Amino acid sequence: MTISEKVAYIQGMFDGMGLDKSESGEAKVLAEVLDVLREVGDQLDTVDATLDEFGEEIDAISDDLADVEAIVGEDDEDDCCCAHDLGCDDDLDDEDFFEVDCPNCGESLVIDDEVLEAGVIDCPKCGQKFALDFEGEDDECGCGCDCGCDHDHE
């Protein structure tokens, strides 16, 4: 039984008692309380109906999201083959990374093929630029620094 139905039942009991609102102050107060209860019941019914509509809309959105997830796939960059959720990607397996120490501050830097080919590194910690030492390789650019790139040193 809803609140509105309970209020209607109490209203019926009140009406059945035959109390005269004009003669009895208590009857007048009870009639006003019943009116307030009826309004509260009506508002609760409206809130319940709105809540039901919101629930249906949330279900529809949830279904749409499930469809999108099925199309896009839930296996995104958060998961990787090594199962540590660091955002690594299987495509990165094709790239080689190298660890180099800055000769100025000793900071350990990780570089990729592109930086290795350029031959010069700008240390993010101390700001010092340094050339990579390709042991046994010839000076390709002729600058005399054995950096292996085509540039002018300042």
- What is the full per-residue pLDDT of the chain (154 aa) written as tens digits? 888 899 999 999 988 988 888 888 888 899 999 999 999 999 999 999 999 999 999 999 999 999 999 888 765 555 555 555 555 555 555 567 888 888 889 888 888 888 888 888 889 899 888 888 766 545 555 566 656 666 665 5
Residue 114: predicted pLDDT: 84
Into how many domains does the chain fold? 2
82 found inside a domain:
no
Task: Note down the domain range covering 67.
Answer: 3-72
Please indicate, yes or no, whether residues 152 and 107 belong to a single structural domain of this protein: yes
Residue 2: predicted pLDDT: 85
52 found inside a domain:
yes
C-alpha to C-alpha distance for 117 and 91, rounded to whole angstroms: 20
101: left (phi over 0), alpha (psi -120 to 50) or beta: beta
147 found inside a domain:
yes
88 found inside a domain:
no
106 found inside a domain:
yes
Please indicate, yes or no, whether residues 59 and 105 belong to a single structural domain of this protein: no
Amino acid at 72: V
Q: What are phi and psi of 104, to 5 degrees?
A: -85, -50
7 found inside a domain:
yes
84 found inside a domain:
no
Please indicate, yes or no, whether residues 117 and 152 belong to a single structural domain of this protein: yes
Q: Are 88 and 80 in contact (CB under 8 A)?
A: yes
79 found inside a domain:
no
Task: Give the DSSP H/E element, type plus range, for residue 97.
Answer: strand 97-101
User: What is the per-residue pLDDT across 75-116, written as a single tens digit (0 to 9) for each?
Assistant: 555 555 555 555 555 555 556 788 888 888 988 888 888 888
Task: Give the DSSP H/E element, type plus range, for residue 109.
Answer: strand 108-112
Please indicate, yes or no, whether residues 99 and 152 belong to a single structural domain of this protein: yes
Strand partners, 100: 109
Strand partners, 98: 111
Q: Which of 72, 103, 131 is the last residue of a domain?
A: 72
